Structure 1
Amino acid sequence: MTQYCRKCGKELEDDAEFCDSCGFNLNGNIIQKTNESKLPAPKNKNEFATKLPLILAIIGIIISIAEGLSTPLLVGWDSILTAMAIGVIGGAFGIILMEKFDEPLIAAVEFIATGVLIYAFIGRFGEISTVLFIIAAVLALYFKGYYTKNKKLFAIPILTVVLLFVLLIAGGAVYQINAENSVAIGNLTQNITNDGYGYYDGYITGDIKVDSNFDYLSVNVDFLDSNGKVIDSTIGWNSINPENGKTYKISALYFDQQAPAKAEIKVVDSSDDTTPLYTENMTILTSSGV
């Protein structure tokens, strides 16, 4: 026999003891229904502390961008962009691993790798973001545990580092080739004389033509003795954002008591001159100016 709620009239199951609409007790009492989902969750005193790794990681991403933009161009624009990309991508991967996959250990590895790589590319200019990412890693381990649910996710920080260096090497090789074909040195002349007072002084002059866009270029000149030892080093020309297609004058001063035997002219695109874009050697023929 079908029964109905005596309070609201809703049709109920034959064996129902309570109305599932208004909570009326079919035996005569009303049961107040409680929606637990609407009750305020108890406050966790450590809620802010457990969010610190996330907060620091986000700040680290923002700071890494700011540090990259404030890093001197002498470091090299390629290194600056790489450091900024590492901060954003590495930090984002770490946050996803920590928050979405609940893998604090793997996220900590990602944060540490991110911080170390930023420092590797821009050094002391990336100290703040590096420290923030390392602290985020430590706090992630402390507040969220050391466990690993899916060890396969360790491939993410590993692949992040590997992919970065593969792209960096490939991009650097392409850049080096293009850059080497974009600078040309010409019209080199020398005029170094003995001034009669125990010193040799004078100049090496010439032209440099720039056929590409560079953030920074410098012509460095090393003066060497007959054994190939560097006597003196100087900058013959440098410029931030040199104009594409323009030819600039080079003038490298020499002043020393020892007569130079050779000069090595190098064009570099950063403060690191280990891989110059252009190198030329010339023999120095000194004369008496007396």
Structure 2
Amino acid sequence: MVSKKAVATGGAVTVVVVVVVLSVLLTPRTAKFKATFMKRCEAYGETSHICEQTLATFEQAYVGKDHSDFSEGNYDQLFAETNLKHPCGKTMFWSKREDLIHKFTGKGDCFIALKDTFLGHVLDGLKWCGKEGNKALSSLSASGKKKKSQYEELHVKPKINPVTSFWNKASAKFAQHACGHVTAMLDGERKEPYDPKSFFGGVEVPNLQPSKVTHLTVVLVGKESGCTCESLGSLRKDLHQSIGCTCKAVARSHVEQCIEENTPCGACW
């Protein structure tokens, strides 16, 4: 937007042309989103240069693209530049237990959940979208009050938006990175703890690499009696036959006690 204003200077009239960048005026949410992205990135331990570069690559994935039918491949470059670096033997999957999982993994370095990774930490709870053909303007938002993460709320869908697409891609990469003995925390208070349409069942289980992963331990929180992988719906069928599977029932109060006492790895179940 361009505006003109006449300014009197010593009898002469000078025309001052003020150029206002329209996208800056119209997208305060974009500025808030970028500030949140940078703050979380730097808090994770990355330099401002790396954070700016990652943000630029992230924006290239969706700005100017149709948000209603969005390809996961748009994030290929982002994930190529931000490879997972955590020990793959500490991988912790989960479904419907966000109230416990991040308190549990956040107490030490025993387990790593997707949210504990670089991109998971930076983008958890945020929403973003682009507009087809519009390279200069993007609509982004960072909710003031944190709700459940998109990783927990969203399910696999035939048509996916930029947010769902990102978590599908991140979940697949997270599972492909896993190796050795991996763990999954599920909600034993649900009638069907294993949901084949969740991110864990629909994305992560199919992407576990049988050449790398030897065993999966399912921790069923809130169930008092024993359990087996065969009792968890289609889990044993969905899991590659060469990957061993064990199910352990653990009371919620016991997990909470482990969090409070910072129980060493493996001792909680």
Give yes or no for TM over 0.5.
no
Give the TM interval when normalised to the shorter protein.
under 0.3
TM-score by length of structure 1 reads: 0.24
What is the TM-score of this pair, normalised by structure 2? 0.26
When Rg is computed on C-alpha atoms for both structures, the one with the higher figure is: 1
Higher RCO (Cα < 8 Å, 6 or more apart): 2
